[in-house]
Chain A
Amino acid sequence: MNFLEKLLALDRRIIFLFIAIAVALPLFFTVKLHIEVTPVVRNLHNALEALPPGSKVLVSLDYDPGSMPELQPMAESFFRYCFMRDLKIIIIGLWPNGPIQANSALEVILNEPDIKKKNPKYGIDYVNLGYTAGNEVVIERMGSDIPVTFPKDYSGSKTEDLPLMKGVKNFNNIDFVYNLSAGYPGTVEWVLFGVDPYKIKLGAGNTAVQAPQIYPYLNSGQLVGLLGGMKGGAEFEIATGHPAKAVKFMFSQSVSHALICFFILIGNFAYFATRKKKGA
Chain B
Amino acid sequence: METIGIWIAALLTLGIFSFLYKDNPFYKFCESLFVGISAGYWFVTTFWQVFMPKLADNLVAGRLYYIIGGVFGVLMLLRLFPKIGWLSRWSLALVVGTTAGLYFTRYLVSNGMIQVQNTIIPLYVKGNLSQTIGNLVIVIGTFSGLIYFFFSKEHKGAFGGLAKLGIWFLMLSFGASFGYTVMSRMSLLIGRMDFLLGTWLGLIR
Contacts and interface: CB of A to CB of B under 8 A. Distances in A.
Given A192-B110, A196-B109, A68 B191 contact: yes
B110 A222 contact: yes
A209 B180 contact: yes
Given A196-B114, A219-B138, A253-B183, A212 B190 contact: no
B45 to A, nearest CB: 5
A228 interface: yes
A18 to B, nearest CB: 12
A220 B20 contact: no
Interface in A40-90: 66-70
B114 A27 contact: no
A23 B189 contact: yes
Contact of A70 (B109, B111, B187, B197): B187
A137 B20 CA distance: 41
Contact of A216 (B21, B115, B188): B115
B94 interface: no
Given A133-B50, A192-B110, A196-B114, A229 B190 contact: no
A173 B111 CA distance: 26
B74 interface: no
Of the four ranges (under 10, 10 to 19, 20 to 34, 35 or more), the interface on chain A belongs to 35 or more
A136 B110 CA distance: 14
| Chain B, interface SS category | helix
Contacts of B187: 69-70, 208, 229-230, 249, 253
B194 A212 contact: no
A24 to B, nearest CB: 5
Nearest to B121: A219
Interface string B71-94: 000000000000000000000000
Interface in A122-140: 131-133, 136-137, 140
Contact of B118 (A191, A208, A221): A221
Contact of B190 (A140, A193, A195, A252): A252
A231 interface: yes
Contact of B186 (A191, A192, A257): A257
Contacts of A257: 182-183, 186
B106 A256 contact: no
Contact of B197 (A24, A211, A231): A24
B32 interface: no
Contact of B115 (A16, A140, A220, A231): A220
B110 A28 contact: no
B109 to A, nearest CB: 5
A265 interface: no
Nearest to A151: B53
A192 B180 CA distance: 23
Nearest to A221: B118
7 contacts: A13-B21, A16-B20, A27-B190, A27-B194, A68-B191, A69-B192, A253-B187
Interface of B: 20-21, 45, 49-50, 53-54, 102-103, 106-107, 109-111, 114-115, 117-118, 138, 173, 176-177, 180-184, 186-194, 197-198, 203-204
